[in-house]
Amino acid sequence: MEFTVDQIAQLLDGTVEGDGSQVINNLEKIQEGKPGSIGFLANLKYEKHLYSTNCSAIIVSKDFVPQKSYTATLVKVTDPYSAFSKLLESYAALTRPNPLGIEEPSFFGKDSTIGEGFYRGAFSYIGKNCTIGDNVKIYPQVFIGDNVTIGNNCVFHPGVKIYAQTKIGSYCEIHGGTIIGSDGFGFTPQPDGTYNNVPQLGNVILEDHISIGSNSTIDCATMGSTLIKNGVKIDNHVQIAHNVTLGENTVIAAQAGVAGSTVIGKNCVLAGKSSIVGHIELADNTTIGGNTGVMKSVTEPGTTLFGFIGFDVKAFLKSYSVFKKLPLLQDKLRELEKKQ
């Protein structure tokens, strides 16, 4: 697949500085580029690579001013990272395989329906009473349980498991090994030290434009629904417990966990290995740093939290009561120092 720099600039609403007639046949990192490839420069800590890169063209900010001589043609855009992402998306759409039809052996349950333009890979299983929309790709070894509803243009990569009663909207992509709708972690302690299982009777609802990475798990609700709203992006190895609600366009990075019945607002960011206790709420636009544990609700939109160290709970609570007052104590200490 080949395009000129001018054609790429037109796609990205950019302007060209240099030879726009050069032919581009690959996308590369700026530091690894080869002739005929295009890269991008969004973070200026990589600027040094612009002056030595073998890429034929580089996407940069329209405000970027080079500090040294360079040989690559520049494509200037408003947002280099978003522009390169758009280019990757367009390239993938042109080059990605588009399998169609049915591979055998596979199973399709009674009273289930599937729309046009579908693909069902070998050893896939679709239960009874399922409703599946148009242009859905179901790769090998995908399991879809009974009474599942799936919208249009969804992709289920190999090994995905969708439990019964799950509802999935349109334009969702779920990567290999992820499980949607497994039982929530519900057990009641007994006087003799054992635990009784609490039946999990609810389901999971995924709205539209949701992406879920590999080997993540979203548990079904005890009653009602675990709800993942429009535009949520979930990384690999993430645990979402029963009855959780994730607001629109929230992003969760790898190895994060959200405990049961927590409600997370829209446009939140949960960094890697962050952990959220159950039965709390996070306001819209909350950011949780990596390895941060959140123990209580966040009520102020736009809050950023960072840092957590676990130790004896009584000692922690005493220390925390002092820790919160450290800025005030520091001010008092400075006042005392001035009086000496």
Tell the residue number behind the tokens 């289930």, with chain if given.
Answer: 112
> 277-280: which pairs have CB atoms within 8 A and are 24 or more residues apart?
278/241
21's torsion region: left (phi>0), alpha (psi -120 to 50) or beta? alpha
Angle at CA of residue 157, ends 153 and 161, nearest 5°: 100
Structure tokens given for 23 = 């032919």
Reduced to 3 states, what is the DSSP secondary structure of residue 226?
strand
Q: Indicate if the alpha-carbon torsion angle 329, 335, 339, 340 is positive or negative.
A: positive
Residue 288 CA: distances (Å) to CA of 31, 70, 260, 281: 31, 40, 18, 13
- Return the closest-CA partner of residue 265 out of 291, 292, 303: 303
In the set 157, 175, 237, 242, the catalytic residue is 242
Active site residue 242: yes
Write out the catalytic residue numbers.
242
